[in-house]
Structures are given as C-alpha cells and as structure tokens.
Structure 1
Amino acid sequence: MAKTYYIGIDGGGTKTKFDLFDSDKNSIASITMPTIHPAQTSFKEAVSVLTDTKEKLLEKINDSDYILKVGAGLGGYGINADYRKKLEDEFGTVFDEFKLCSDAYAALLGALAGEDGILMIAGTGSIALAKIGDKTFRCGGFGYRYGDEGSAYSIGKALISRALKEADGRLDKSVISDIVEDYFDNISFNMIATSDFSRDKIAGLAAAASKYLDISESVRDIFFAAANEISLHIKAIGKNFEGLKKIKAGYIGGVFKSEYIIKCIKEMNPDIELVAPIYPPEKGSILQV
C-alpha cells in the first residue's frame, strides 16, 4: 500500500518555509526559500521556487510508490477571488493534490494542533483569529495606519511619541528618551520625527525597550497598554465561544517574547487558557489536507 507524504508550506512576505512530513506527519526535511508571494515576486518565479523545492524534498523519500499531499498557508491568499484562482492555477502546475489557505489560518491550525480556539498574532502587526468547527472569525488586522494595536510597531510608535513629548517638555524626561535616542544612533529628535523609517525599524524599538521593563515605569506603562489592546482582541473574538468556560488561546509573534506582556494578558483574561504554539505554521498547513 502506497504511503502518504506531505509538504507543508508557510509562505510569508520575505521567505517561504517548506517542510516534508512522513505518513505520521513527522518532519523529515525542511528548506527555507525566497518568498513566493506574488506581491513581492512574479508568478513565474514563484512556480520556479515551488518546482525546485519540490524536487529537492522528494529526494528525501526512499519509497518508489507514494502519494504526495501539499498544504500551503500563503500571505495575501484572501485578497480576492481572482487572486486566489491565479494562485491555485499556479500551484496546480506543480502539485497534483494540494490545499491552500491564508498564512494566518495555517498558523491558527498549527498553534492549536487543529483544535478550536483563538490565535493572537502580535508581531510587526497584530490580528486575532478563531476557529469553531468549520467556522472562522477574525478581529483586528486593519494595518499599521489605523490599526495593528498591541503590535511591536504600535509599541515602537508609542515610545517615539513619548520621547518627543519628553524632548520638548510636555512630559518629564525618562529612560525612554535615552532608549529612543540610542536606538536611532543619536540623531536629533527632530530628525527622528521627520524621518520615514520602515515599519520593521520602528517595530524593532519594542525589543530594545523591553530590556528596561524591570526598571522603568514609563516603559511598563507602554507595554501594559499594548497588553490591554491584545486583551481587547481576545475578549472580542472570544464572544463567539458562547457557553465555553475555558477557551484556548495560542500566541505567535515577537511581542510575546516579553514575559511581562504574557503576565498582563493572563491577568486580564482569567477565563482564557493562554498556550504556546504546538506546531509551526508549515505543519499547520497540512492539517487541512
């Protein structure tokens, strides 16, 4: 009887992770390749990456007779129907049996091993997702201009805003001024205020400031506010789980590297079981096939 093998794909905006799994869904081999997101590259190049990686992974299979199933979580997959159809057509030129979903949904499946619950993502951006049977829900994820509350970007932006207020005397000086000034290589606050930094650059300020949580009330206040925003996501999407006493909520993203953030969220949500992700998104993607 032919064995079944799986390829799980986590296609983000900067890179694509591929993992080959055996029939018991244990990882055999993994490869990281350039992004296949068509907003960052061409469909032709995406097909080339998929084809080359498939060949490399299949070399790890010793069986001559097998079935290959592919699951992929892709950034931007939910943009519109025409876009999804184009992605499905391109995948169809490389794989016979496959299932596509958004990268966020693959992360949700992986984090909770396919079980019902919530996934809170708080990295450069932020969004909450939930799964109840075949139904899915989302909260937040409206982007950095008007949303992404609780994200590393929002923390970085709040730190800069606080430092600028301290610079012109609207607030008393705190260690935040030093953190921001040092992070931006001691350029003037006027330069900081008028520079067009990337989202990743501003988000990185959150990690720099997290080292001062134990000694700075001002830093704690900003991180507490971020934890509260994350909590609002969880509480809002948790309303869909009517009647359940304990809801599992997985979490992914750099913001959760802060033990202070996790501690605050647990205190704000005593009825939520906050859990570290069980599987990565690339394994989550094969739980749908």
Structure 2
Amino acid sequence: MANERLYLGVDGGGTRCRVRIANESGCVLGESVSGGANTRLGIDHVFGEIIAAASLALSNAGMDDSRLGDLHAGMGLAGLPLERDRKLAQSYAHPFASTCFATDAYTACLGAHDGANGAILIVGTGTCGQAIIDNTELAVAGWGFEVSDLGSGARIGRNAIETALLAHEGLAEKTDLTTAVMAKFDNNPENIVVFAETARPSDYGAFCPMVFDAEAAGDKAAISLVNFAVDANLKILRKLVAFGAPRLTLMGGLAEQMAKRMPEDIKKLMAPAKFDAMHGAILLAKQHERAAA
C-alpha cells in the first residue's frame, strides 16, 4: 500500500463534505464526512473541512496523516462557478500531492454517467443542470435561489410565503396553503420580514413539503407553485438534451417529485446514476493526471 497511487475524491456541498480514498484500481479504502464546503463559506473554511475529512478517511483506511501528501485530490465544490473562488482554490497551499477542481455538479455528472456522455439535474434546495458531451460541457442555473434556481425547494418555499402574504392582504386568493403558511408566522406580516432578514435557502426550503402536500390535496395556489417549478426544471432538461445529452439523471431531494411530472419524451431519457459524485471526483483527478502527463 505504501507504493500504490492514492486518490481523494471530494464532494463539497453547502451542508456537508464527503470524501473517499481509492487506489489506482478503484478499490475504496476509506470514506468520511465533515461540514459544509461551499466556497462561499471562505476558502480557509473549505480546505479545513476537506483536510479534516481526508484525515479521518485515512484513519478509516488504516493510515495516518503522513499520507496526506500522497493523495491526488479531485474536488467537486459548490460555489466554484464564481471565477473568484476558482482562483482562490487553485492557489491555496494544500497538503496533497496534487489537486484539481470542478463544480460539485460537474463531478456529480461524471459519476452519474461514469465518465460517459450524459447530463444531470440536481434539484433540491437549489437547482443546477450539467451536461458533459465528449470534451464539452454545459452548466445551467445554480446561481442561488435569489436570482436563479426557479425550480428549487428554496424558491418553491419562498414563493409560497410570498403568495401567502399576498393572500393575507387580499391581493391573491386565499387557499388552505396560504392560510397554513401565514399561521407559521402567527398571521403577522412583520414576522415574515424578520424571518427574511436572516433566512437561508434551507429555511425557505423547509416550506416545500407543505406545498407538495397541498398540491396533492388539490390546492389551487400549491398547484400553481408546483407547476411553475416543474416548468422551470423542464426548460433546463430540454436545454441539456438540445446540447446533446443522451441520458438524463435527476438527483437531489426533489428529484422524485420532479421526475414523475415530466413529459414522456424526457422520461424516456431518464436513467439512474451509475455512481456518485465522489466517484466522479476521482475520475476528475485521473483525467487531470493524464492531461498533465
């Protein structure tokens, strides 16, 4: 084991960082999980979480921190669409043998199709579409629910609160959903304002289950909100297909809800993920090595 080449696959999301250590033949030696590794949390924080997770994964593999310098790391990190954060990551003084970086969507797509042509739509608290076709790629959405990610759980929750507030003031039709959402804020618009001052995407996303439950019960407001999200995600999927994706994989907490609402031509292209994002990150590291050779 002392002479074998070791790879570290990093799936750095906003809420957790998952890592896997594997050898050249793909045998998994150790895994671990640490805290969020979105680059918007700060590059020192991100690498702190990655190094902590790598250290624990080494321990789980029966090795110690002296092997950190032997790990060739492929990192898929949330937040990397921003050039600012890509430059910070690339220039960071890390302890690994080598590093290469991509967005977490890119490595998830690599893993989902095991390096073959295909596309994914991650739809959970946020949304992001990613296609990899031969040596070209297309990324769609993923800029945050404030300005993007129209079909995400965070946007569905935010829209539900907005609709409830409008209905409370008589500017939209009251429904069971709008009444239930306002009740969460004690029917006081001021409480919504206070909530919005510090609310994170996950805080808005917490309202998403209420919307789907109400939609299933035939609530007009909920049906409209869900249809809006479905249409937004369908547009992303159609753009990925137009780019040349022969396979589509939906991932994330809302994947099942969205998949069953898609038209038949999209459903026919859907396939489950072959592997996960950590597998994709290790593929990225191997590709980086081949390109550098």
Which category describes the TM-score, using the shorter chain as reference length?
0.7 to 0.9
TM-score (structure 1 length as normaliser)? 0.81
Q: Per-residue displacement from partner, 1:145-203 (whole Å, max 9, x unpaired)?
A: 33211111221122223323332334443211233134x25342453256423322112
Distance 1:200 1:61 in 2: 33
Compute the displacement of 1:47 (Å): 4.6
Q: How does 1:42-81 map to 2 (within 5 A)?
A: 43=44, 46-61=46-61, 68-80=71-83
In the other structure, the counterpart of 1:280 is: 276
Compute the displacement of 1:129 (Å): 1.2
**Larger deviation: 230-239 or 93-102?**
93-102
Q: Which amino acid aligns with 2:128?
A: I
Q: 1:232 to 1:53 in 2, by over 3 A?
A: closer
Question: 2:211 aligned with 1:209, yes or no?
Answer: yes
Judging by fraction of residues, say which structure has more helix.
2
User: Percent same amino acid at aligned positions?
Assistant: 19
SS of residue paired to 1:155: helix
Of the candidates 223, 228, 235, which is equivalent to residue 226 of structure 2? 223
Q: How does 1:1-289 map to 2 (within 5 A)?
A: 2-41=3-42, 43=44, 46-61=46-61, 68-80=71-83, 83-90=85-92, 93-182=94-183, 184-189=184-189, 191-192=191-192, 195-196=195-196, 197-218=199-220, 219-241=222-244, 247-258=246-257, 261-267=258-264, 269=266, 272-288=268-284, 289=286
Q: Which amino acid aligns with 1:202?
A: Y
Compute the displacement of 1:36 (Å): 4.4
Structure 2's unaligned 5+ residue stretches are: 287-293
Contact 2:185 2:191 in 1 (8 A): no
Q: Per-residue displacement from partner, 1:103-142 (whole Å, max 9, x unpaired)?
A: 1211111222222111112222222111101100122334
Distance 2:225 2:194 in 1: 22
Distance 1:173 1:50 in 2: 47
Q: 1:74 to 1:237 in 2, by over 3 A?
A: same
Distance 1:21 1:90 in 2: 23
Q: Per-residue displacement from partner, 1:246-284 (whole Å, max 9, x unpaired)?
A: x211112222242xx2211144635x5123333222221
Compute the displacement of 1:83 (Å): 4.3
SS of residue paired to 1:33: strand
Q: Per-residue displacement from partner, 1:38-66 (whole Å, max 9, x unpaired)?
A: 532453x55554444434333444699x9
Across the two proteins, how many residue pairs are aligned to each other? 277
Structure 1's unaligned 5+ residue stretches are: none
Instruction: Give me the CA root mean square deviation.
Output: 3.0
Contact 2:17 2:50 in 1 (8 A): no
